[in-house]
Structure 1
Amino acid sequence: MPDPVHDPRVTPARPDLADIRLRGSVEAARFVAGEPRRVAVPVAPLRRTPRADAGLETEAVMGDAVTVYEVRDGFAWVQIVHDGTVGYLPAASLGPADPAPTHRITALRSFLYPAPDMKRPALDHLGLGAALAATGEAGEYLRVGDAFVFAGHCTPLDRLEPDHAATAERLVGTPYLWGGRTSLGLDCSGLVQLCLSLAGRPCPRDADQQARAVGHALPPSFDGLRRGDFIDWRGHTGLMLDPETLIHANGHHMAVAIEPLRQAAARIADNSYGAVTGMRRL
Structure 2
Amino acid sequence: MTKSDNCSVQRTPNDTVDAASPVERFHLDGKSRAYDPRVTPARRDLVDVRLAGSIFAPHYSRALTAVASADLPLWPTAQMDGDPLSIVLDGEPFEVLEVAADRAWGRAADGSVGYVAASGLDADVPPRALPAPLPGTPAERARHLLGTPYQAGGRSFAGVDTAGFIFLILGGSVGKPRFRPMQDEAGTAVERSAVQPGDLLFATDSAAVLVDDQSVVTVDPASGVIELPLAEWLAQVGEVSARRVRA
Question: Could you say which TM-score interval applies, normalised by the shorter chain?
Answer: 0.7 to 0.9
Q: Residues 256 and 278 from structure 1, CA distance in 2 versus in 1: closer, same or farther, beyond 3 angstroms?
A: same
**TM-score after normalising by structure 1:** 0.66
> What residue is the counterpart of 1:249 in the other structure?
219
Given the alignment of the two structures, is residue 65 of structure 1 paired with residue 65 of structure 2, yes or no?
Answer: no
Amino acid at match of 1:50: A
CA shift for structure 1 position 175: 2.7
Given the alignment of the two structures, is residue 185 of structure 1 paired with residue 159 of structure 2, yes or no?
Answer: yes
Q: Deviations 1:126-175 (Å, cap 9, x if unpaired)? A: xxx4xxxxxxxxxxxxxxxxxxxxxxxxxxx5x86233433432332333
In the alignment, is the contact (CA less than 8 A) between 2:102 and 2:119 conserved in 1? yes
Amino acid at match of 1:260: P
Q: Residues 64 and 6 from structure 1, CA distance in 2 versus in 1: closer, same or farther, beyond 3 angstroms?
A: same
Q: For structure 1, list consecutive stretches of 5 or more residues without a partner in the other structure.
A: 105-128, 130-156, 270-274
What is the alpha-carbon distance in structure 2 between the residues aligned to residue 52 and residue 26 of structure 1?
Answer: 25
> What residue is the counterpart of 1:29 in the other structure?
58
The alignment's C-alpha RMSD in Å is 2.6
SS of corresponding position for 2:65: strand
What is the alpha-carbon distance in structure 1 between the residues aligned to residue 123 and residue 159 of structure 2?
Answer: 27
CA shift for structure 1 position 189: 1.8
Given the alignment of the two structures, is residue 77 of structure 1 paired with residue 114 of structure 2, yes or no?
Answer: no
> What residue is the counterpart of 1:121 in the other structure?
none
> What residue is the counterpart of 2:48 in the other structure?
19
Given the alignment of the two structures, is residue 99 of structure 1 paired with residue 116 of structure 2, yes or no?
Answer: no
Q: Deviations 1:28-66 (Å, cap 9, x if unpaired)? A: 22111111223232x110001123434211111123332
In the alignment, is the contact (CA less than 8 A) between 2:67 and 2:126 conserved in 1? no
Q: Residues 80 and 170 from structure 1, CA distance in 2 versus in 1: closer, same or farther, beyond 3 angstroms?
A: same
Q: Deviations 1:67-107 (Å, cap 9, x if unpaired)? A: 1100111111011243x2110011122233863434x6xxx
**Higher relative CO (CA 8 A, sep ≥ 6), structure 1 or 2?**
2
What is the alpha-carbon distance in structure 2 between the residues aligned to residue 245 and residue 195 of structure 1?
Answer: 16
What is the alpha-carbon distance in structure 1 between the residues aligned to residue 34 and residue 214 of structure 2?
Answer: 36
Amino acid at match of 1:60: V
Q: Residues 64 and 197 from structure 1, CA distance in 2 versus in 1: closer, same or farther, beyond 3 angstroms?
A: farther
Q: Aligned residues: percent identity?
A: 29
CA shift for structure 1 position 236: 2.8
**As a proportion of its length, which structure holds more strand?**
1
The one of 176, 195, 202 equivalent to 1:203 is 176
What is the alpha-carbon distance in structure 2 between the residues aligned to residue 248 and residue 73 of structure 1?
Answer: 39
Q: Deviations 1:217-272 (Å, cap 9, x if unpaired)? A: 22x2144412x221112343221211221101123x54211112232112112xxx
Q: For structure 2, list consecutive stretches of 5 or more residues without a partner in the other structure.
A: 1-32
> What residue is the counterpart of 2:14 in the other structure?
none
> What residue is the counterpart of 1:225 in the other structure?
196
